[in-house]
Amino acid sequence: MSNHKPEKHNMVEGRVCIVTGAGRGIGREYALMLGAHGGLVVVNDLGASRDGSGGDSGPAQDVANEIKAAGGQAVANTDDISSYAGAKSIVDQAIDTFGGLDVVVNNAGILRDRMLFSMAEEEWDSVIKVHLKGTFGTSRFAAEYWRNRSKDGKTNDARIINTSSVAGLYANPGQANYGAAKAGIAAFTQIAAQELSRYGVTANAIAPGALTRLTEDLNLPEEMLAKFDPRWVAPIVTWLASPLSKDVTGQVIESNGMFLAIAESWQRGPTLTTPPAEAEDVDAAIRPLLAAARPRTTMADIN
């Protein structure tokens, strides 16, 4: 019996892919797998520390070099995705270098964890800017490019793949800034999916579970560490980037080494069709609805 393994199918052959925050951690795994599957990868990373300070061109270039050494095609980019000009520059570089753009993976992020009562304005603003504005910026300029192509009679099979988090979906104390940004990204993704479907563009989000610089403070038992290796998340992103996923849009997908799950969005629960007209009547009206509502998923439920 032969032990020869069949060659992997190049799922994103020739597709131009931007990956932000791709110098380390999860983004690095995304970029490497996309490159291994034939993608032409723009490896973006400012090279900042996990709180967003500083900068270093090394990480992005190292990943680009690694993709090229394995026979793929990649270029490095060190623009700041939290700036409007930086976001546009990344999209322009992809188009100028590879002749087009098919996939944007918005992954870059920072952490400034603090309890609400002690969070500084700058700690709020910086996290919202990188995560939420950074996701908007690249998506906005990519969407403009795809819309213009469509108006010119060309077809797209394009993807926006955003990064949400269980901290935003299910709430995590100490992360009001990060959780709010990630919840915002989940809603942004669903809106983008509705707006861009007519142009041949899908928009989905990943809520990854992985140990990176952003989660290195977590104390997990040894047997759990392998399940939170960043490479577990890369296959679903590669699939989303491929033509196979063209019928999937507006989804938030949880992915880690323990499970793959679809996060269900807000749903209208128990409803009273004769709402009270007076404040004094609200308590009696709303208590049965609260009692009948399905309990929310919490962080404790997913561990």
By annotation, the residues acting in catalysis are 178
- How many Å apart are CA 273 and CA 209, to the nearest integer? 40
Residue 206 token pair: 């990943």
Q: Please name the residues in contact with 239: beta carbons below 8 A apart, sequence gap of 6 or more.
A: 11, 245
Q: Please name the residues in contact with 123: beta carbons below 8 A apart, sequence gap of 6 or more.
A: 112, 114, 177
CA 8 → CA 33, 38, 98, distances in Å? 11, 10, 23
How does strand 16-19 pair with strand 201-208? Answer: unpaired
DSSP H or E segment with residue 125:
helix 121-128
* 96, 98, 104, 110 alpha-carbon torsion, rounded to 10°: -70
- How many Å apart are CA 234 and CA 223, to the nearest integer? 21
